[in-house]
Chain A
Amino acid sequence: MSDKGPQRQCRSCDHFRNDAKYLETVFKGLTSLSSGYGSVRSDDGICVRHDRYLSARSSCADFLPVTSHPIAKKL
């Protein structure tokens, strides 16, 4: 699979969750010795479709544009 453009990357996918607060909730204990807001995390997040922790620059065949999500449509 070739590298996809920004429009098809996880960062624009409805399955992707990379909000720092969300990650601190899901990764129990993260705030004890680290943080979801640090530079080292870059903009990685969780793919809830595949249960993987991925770079926002990843992509796959299950990409679902975030614009299809009702919250995004309101923006």
Chain B
Amino acid sequence: MANIQVHGGRVEALPLRWRELWLKEDWWAIWLGLGIVLIAYIFFANGSSIRWLAVTPAKWSSFTELEAHFATNYVRYIAQFVAWLAVFTIALTALGHKAREFIPSFVVLYVLSVVIFALGQWDKANTYNLEPPLVALALGLLLSNVVGLPRWLDAGFRVEFYIKTGIVLLGATLPFTLILWAGPVAILQASIVSIVTFLVIYWVGVKLGLDRRLAATLGAGGAVCGVSAAIAISGAVGGKKEDAPIAITVVIIWAIAMIFVLPFVAQYLHLPAGVGGAWIGTSEFADAAGFAAAQTYGNIASSGAVAGSSDQAVFAYTLIKVVGRDVWIGIWAFILAIIATTQWERTETGRKPEAAEIWWRVPKFVFGFLVASLIITLVTTGYSLADFNKSVVPTLVAPIKDLRTWAFIFCFLSIGLTTRFRELAGAGRKPFLAFSAGAVVNVIIGFILSAIVFAAHWETVAR
């Protein structure tokens, strides 16, 4: 019986153990991300670069310029499309998806991504707030909610897979020394916010009469990493089947609203890029949604509207959200599993929490992010700053960064394309109120910590 594998929604009798290495998208994001980093380094070490493949639309001010760019570089785009298609198809097929469904869907996604990327490179884009993350999200929402898309197209809209791959690639552009320097403050700040937010949502939820397992599921969704945390905690505490969909609905509504609100509030408050990124990292709920907001704020910084650089916003966000918050999900799950099985229901699920749960649930792609950072930091240690900027950045770091940008655009577009508001479960007033209470507290404490207590730290991060 231990070897039973029945598919089609039924059951996987085998414990995951080592099979996680090819059955979880976290690991595939690591294989893909680190694979790209290693290939980029091999080219670099041999005096070449993957720059040709990492093509992106150039800045343009007239359609003639844009047309000329694509006329000159269309072969590079085709090659890049084929490369993305190949690696994603391999990974998703291994995860159990059907290539014949993924391929046509990815064609649509890539073409739309090229359009959005090109639009973001228009020299008037900032004037009209045409930030690529926001345009991608808005276009996706419009297509999925107003125009309507066939369900089979969803096969290529893998939000989490793209964002995880992008985060691993992001690691290669972020010095490991910066993680060591800024990481402790990020973890401290994220921990304060996470604990307070969780307790507020849980307390308000229980006071409103919600089941404790639902209150905990909502609390984790607001405090740690959105939908992913909510389903992790729901499983850990043995929630009702309807708990996770309720949490999914409130997280999506709040997270998408925050994407459009936070960057512009931060701009209105003239927060430096690093401070704004840290605030978004403490206040957004899901990684993908937060990256959309942080990238938008980075673009605002690039336009000169606020102090700092695009990298500062994205790096500060990443340190808070990925390093500071995401890695705690396993610990939250373990603690709440203990409480659930010893205090809430001692006999219902016949389960003893195991410390190994911390490892099982930790988002493994974070290790890929750290390893990518370590690899690039180590191989570039001997370069002076001048040599680094002159030879390493354009031939090694910049192409990886460009590929990361593509992965993020695939993700932002997929968020909109997969979010069908009318299909979301009804959340109910009480869960929404409980979550909203935590969200408001989250934003306020996040602002105090980012813009006042640790303002000097985040203002200078990656300067």
Contacts and interface: CB of A to CB of B under 8 A. Distances in A.
B33 to A, nearest CB: 15
B11 interface: yes
B349 A59 contact: yes
A53 B231 CA distance: 9
A7 B289 contact: no
A37 B24 contact: yes
Contacts of A6: 2, 15
A29 B25 contact: no
B198 interface: no
Interface in A30-54: 30-35, 37-46, 51-54
Interface residues of B, number: 80
B241 A4 contact: no
B323 interface: no
Contacts, number: 224
A63 B4 CA distance: 16
21 contacts: A6-B2, A12-B11, A17-B10, A18-B12, A32-B252, A33-B228, A33-B248, A33-B289, A35-B158, A38-B26, A39-B26, A39-B362, A42-B16, A43-B16, A45-B235, A52-B240, A53-B240, A57-B354, A59-B349, A60-B349, A67-B1
Given A27-B245, A34-B226, A66 B234 contact: no
B349 A58 contact: yes
A58 B351 contact: yes
B349 A54 contact: yes
B361 A18 contact: no
Interface of A: 1-4, 6-7, 11-14, 16-22, 25-35, 37-46, 51-60, 65-67, 69, 71-72, 75
A1 B238 CA distance: 15
A39 B11 contact: no
A57 B351 contact: yes
Nearest to A71: B6
Contacts of B238: 52-55, 58
Given A4-B350, A21-B96, A29-B419, A51 B241 contact: yes
B135 interface: no
A12 B348 CA distance: 17
A25 B155 CA distance: 12
B159 A33 contact: yes
A5 to B, nearest CB: 10
B450 to A, nearest CB: 22
A7 to B, nearest CB: 6
Nearest to A46: B241
A29 B425 CA distance: 8
